[in-house]
Amino acid sequence: MTVPLIFLTFFGAAALWFAIVVFRTHSMVRSALALLFSQTAVGAMFLVMQAEFLGVLQIMMMATEMSVMAIFMVMFMMDPGGLGEMEMTHQKKRSLWAGGIGFAAALALAWAGNWGPEATVIPQAARQTELLGIELLGRSMFIFESAGLTILTAMIAATMVAIAPEKAKQPKTVPQKTAPQHKGHSHDH
Amino acid sequence: MIIELSVALSFAAGLFGVGLYGALSQTNLVMIMMGVELMLAAALINLVAFWRYLHPDAMSGQMFVLIVMTVMAVEMAVGFGVAIARFRVRGSVEMEEARELKG
Amino acid sequence: MSIAAPLAAVLIGAYLVAVLERWSVHGRFSLSAPAISALALLGRESITTRKADALFFEAGPVLLLVAGLLAVAVIPLAPGLIVTDLASGALFLNAALAYVLVALIMAGWGPDGAYGMIGGWRFLGQFLGYAMLIVMPITAVAMRAESLMTTQIVQSQAQLWNIVYQPLGFVLFIIAAVALAFVPPLDLPVAGGDLAGGVEAEYTGARLAILRLARMVIILALAGATATFYLGGWLGPVLPPWAWSALKTLIVAAAMLSAGRFIPRIREARFLELCWKLGIPLSLANIFLVGVLVLVVPL
């Protein structure tokens, strides 16, 4: 057992455990924060695997994302604290089978695959960040820009979908206003 | 045989399995999104592990991680947009009640 | 390098920030007052609420403290006097401080009280406003230093401090820092007047002491970050480097804390509007401006 292996196992187990907690707890806020800690553990795994920039980025991004997820859960659920212990699953058995088969297949591939020789020379963290920048603004610039454009489009589209439609308000207010006036006007005609 | 790579891939497999179970079994739209996030996290672990143990000189591996992170954010934005629209019309984001979305 | 010296510096710094906060609120400068109130808090009974989410209730203040300490870990006090000089230190500072949000949501949700919960979610609204304003000015700072390492960022200011080189970024960053440290006028999560203490409302005794200490550490971390990113960190004549860092950090902390005396509290929706409609275009302009400056005036 080497030191990175121990840390990798520890953070991997933490990520897995928190991932299971996500679907086992009844409290929605706990569920969202368990997902956050699972993702943070994934970020820590990146740090163990010497991808420092990506690890820190993952840890930073997920804090925000999952907090937003938590507030949406609180907004959408009748019982975000999970005190009523309501059932929120369907086709449980089939899902368990699907998840199990997916896990087993990936696990078998992970251990049976011939991955070739291990790379030994890893660039220093500062050099990695520099190389990543050169990659992003060099060969992969188009892909990177497409990703940026995609996220902009998604933001605009999501906002458009989410904004309250103006038309829905009018039918409710218009009859109420005209109804009392109707009698008064009828004398004029 | 690279032990570290296999260990990392195993935990990624576990996360993927849990995420797949969650995405299929949950009835709430936001919980389904959590399942999808877990599956994407598993993909992230795989990408970083492959980069670290097989091709540390090729930065395209790290770039792909950034793209997957973008996909996660896009998924969140679109998912919540749909969720808000549904909640406004139907008062819930339970997918059992979304029969009209069935083809 | 031993970790004891930076840790002692953090504790002393947090204590001095507490002294400064008391001065900014009560107008009296007393070196012993925070120690007395801390002892009083530790001696007081710890009350828990009914149906509390015990895990979040206990973990919230601790996570807040851990977030603050991790953020301090990448701030250099002097050359070599830094806990860990990460290659992506400036980003790590953000990552650690993002957990302030998580900790406040946990601490607000945990006790099952209306004031705490509103306080916690309010901070999420505030966060959406300041998040971009803290990342984008740092981007401009890193552009000039050509590195994310905090020590290199300090060294890049040897010729000219960043506060002169990119004043726009400094203004945006300090506003975001005030919002992140939730000190007045942006103290919505713990608003004394309208939320009865907000997140702090249900905490008593030792837990409140941890919460208060964590807040001081966060203010210290942000003041230190401002000193590092914009005021040249340890650079300065005559005095030893650590003294310059300490002095600059405390001056920034005093400035951050005293702003609340003159500006009324801002609602989170208004703050969000200001940040997105004005702050983000300005910070983009700042990045562009610094980019041009780096190319034209290589100082």
- pLDDT per position as a tens digit, C19-28: 888 887 777 7
B32 touching chain A per CB within 8 A:
no
Q: Which one of A103, A160, A161 has the shortest CB-CB distance to B17?
A: A103
Domain count, chain B: 1
Q: Do A135 and B63 make contact, defined as CB atoms within 8 angstroms?
A: yes
Which of C50, C92, C106, C149 is the mutation pick for testing A, counting most A CBs within 10 A? C92
Which of B11, B76, B90, B93 is the mutation pick for testing A, counting most A CBs within 10 A? B11
Q: Which one of A39, A98, A151 has the shortest CB-CB distance to B70?
A: A151
Q: Is B94 in a helix, a strand, or coil?
A: strand
Low-confidence ranges of chain C (pLDDT < 70): 1-2, 192, 299
pLDDT value for A11: 93
- The pLDDT tens digits along chain A (189 residues) read 688 889 999 999 999 999 998 888 888 888 888 999 999 999 999 999 888 899 999 999 888 888 888 888 888 877 776 666 667 777 888 888 888 998 999 888 888 888 888 888 888 888 888 888 888 888 888 988 999 899 999 988 888 887 877 665 555 555 554 444 444 444 444
pLDDT value for A18: 92
Q: How many CB atoms lie within 10 A of CB A170?
A: 10
pLDDT value for A82: 66
Compare all CA atoms of chain B with the CA of A92 and give the residue at the minimum distance. B25
Q: How close A67 gets to chain C, by Cα (Å)?
A: 7
pLDDT value for A182: 47
Query: CA B74 to CA B95: how far, in whole Å?
Result: 20
Residues of A in contact with C149 (CB under 8 A): 126
**pLDDT over threshold 90, residue B44:** yes
The pTM for the full model equals 0.86
Residues of A in contact with C53 (CB under 8 A): 27, 29-30, 81
pLDDT value for A187: 47
What is the ipTM metric for this complex? 0.88
Identify the sign of the CA torsion C253, C256, C257, C261.
positive
Q: How close C215 gets to chain A, by Cα (Å)?
A: 19
CATH of the domain at B46: 1.10.287.3510
Q: Which one of A23, A35, A161 has the shortest CB-CB distance to B37?
A: A35
Q: Do A67 and C88 make contact, defined as CB atoms within 8 angstroms?
A: no
Query: CA A37 to CA A32: how far, in whole Å?
Result: 9
Q: How close C149 gets to chain A, by Cα (Å)?
A: 8
Q: Which residues contact C120 (CB under 8 A, 6 or more apart)?
A: C104, C105, C106, C107, C108, C109, C189, C198, C199
Q: What would the mean pLDDT of B22-30 be, rounded to a whole number? A: 86
Q: Which residues contact B12 (CB under 8 A, 6 or more apart)?
A: A106, A110, B42, B43, B45, B46, B49
Say if residue A123 is preceded by a cis peptide, omega within 30 of 0: no
Establish whether chain B is in contact with chain A, requiring a minimum of 3 CB pairs below 8 angstroms. Answer: yes
Query: CA C190 to CA C183: how far, in whole Å?
Result: 9
**What does R_g of chain B's alpha carbons equal in angstroms?**
17
pLDDT value for A173: 52
Residues of C in contact with A70 (CB under 8 A): 105
Q: Do A121 and B41 make contact, defined as CB atoms within 8 angstroms?
A: no
pLDDT value for B93: 77
Q: Do B80 and A115 make contact, defined as CB atoms within 8 angstroms?
A: no
Query: CA B56 to CA B2: how far, in whole Å?
Result: 15
Tokens 């187990």, residue?
A13
Q: Domain range spanning residue B89?
A: 3-101
C82 neighbors C153 (Cβ within 8 angstroms): no
A66 neighbors A35 (Cβ within 8 angstroms): yes
User: Is B92 or B29 the better-scoring residue by pLDDT?
Assistant: B29
Compare all CA atoms of chain A with the CA of B45 and give the residue at the minimum distance. A42
C218 neighbors C137 (Cβ within 8 angstroms): no
pLDDT value for A179: 47
Q: How close A185 gets to chain C, by Cα (Å)?
A: 43
B64 neighbors B49 (Cβ within 8 angstroms): no
Q: Which residues contact C98 (CB under 8 A, 6 or more apart)?
A: A59, A60, A63, A64, C67
Interface of C with A in 86-125 (CB under 8 A): 86-88, 91-92, 94-95, 98-99, 101-102, 105-106, 109, 112, 121, 124
Measured between its terminal Cα atoms, the distance across chain C in Å is 32
